[in-house]
Amino acid sequence: YDDFLMQRADDAHCTLALVKPDVAQDEQAVATIIGRITARGYTIKDRVEITLSRAQASAFYAEHSDRPFFEGLVAFMSSGPTVALLLEGDDVVRGWRMMVGPTSPATARQQMPQSIRALLGDDGPRNAVHGSDSAESAQRELGFFFHPRIQAEVEEEPPTPAETAV
């Protein structure tokens, strides 16, 4: 993956799509999402299903660690399986974010009723899907889910003090 990620993820041709735990076990919803992706002309180059540990979810969303919703976000993201998709296509970073819609599903239903979050999102962190917000984020986030060496390092991360406390 080194060459692949270096050469492709530093432009706008690859991005990470996540189907979050609120939707990932709903086969029909996952099929709907994948159908929309391929109908738009994007290619799914790789797919993994993983239940994130709290440490992995915290690392993935580290940029939000000071936000009041962070604990709830980490708890949600580690509550069940996530489906990660490596998407490839012209301008796919921006295009997939458009398909995903606004962060809040309620806002999405108001402003982008055709978006995936409007269709499948619930509330709070439970907004069905994730999309990398830039080519740089995509490179980092694709490494997180699809780079075997990075994934192994994350899995070996020691438990947090809260998890080891009696």
Beta strands in the chain (DSSP E): 14-19, 43-50, 82-88, 129-131
Beta strands in 30-143 (DSSP E): 43-50, 82-88, 129-131
Is 45 annotated in a binding site? The answer is no
Site residues for ligand GDP, 82-111, by CB under 6 A, read 103
User: ∠ CA(9), CA(99), CA(122), 5° rounding?
Assistant: 115
- Determine the interface stretch with Mg ion among 4-12, 85-93, 112-120, 131-139 (rule: CB under 5 A): 131-139
Q: How far is the CB of 148 from ligand GDP (least distance, A)?
A: 25
> Which residues is 47 bridged to in the sheet?
85
65 binds ligand GDP (CB under 6 A): no
Burial of 6 (0-12, 13-18, 19+ CB in 10 A): exposed
Annotated catalytic, 130?
yes
Is 103 annotated in a binding site? The answer is yes
73 binds ligand GDP (CB under 6 A): yes
**What do you get for the CA distance between the two ends of the chain, in Å?**
40
Query: How many C-beta neighbours within 10 Å does residue 57 have?
Result: 21
Exposure of 82 in the CB half-sphere (CA atoms within 13 A): 26
Output 73 or 138, the one with its CB closest to ligand GDP.
73
Output 4 or 70, the one with its CB closest to ligand GDP.
70
Q: How far is the CB of 128 from ligand GDP (least distance, A)?
A: 9
Would you say 20 and 126 are in contact if contact means Cβ atoms under 8 Å apart? Answer: yes
Is 69 annotated in a binding site? The answer is yes
Output 7 or 123, the one with its CB closest to ligand GDP.
123
Residue ranges at the known binding site for ATP: 20, 69, 97, 103, 117, 127
State the catalytic residues: 130
Residue ranges at the known binding site: 20, 69, 97, 103, 117, 127
- Contacting residues toward ligand GDP, per CB under 6 A: 64, 69, 72-73, 103, 124-125, 127, 130, 133
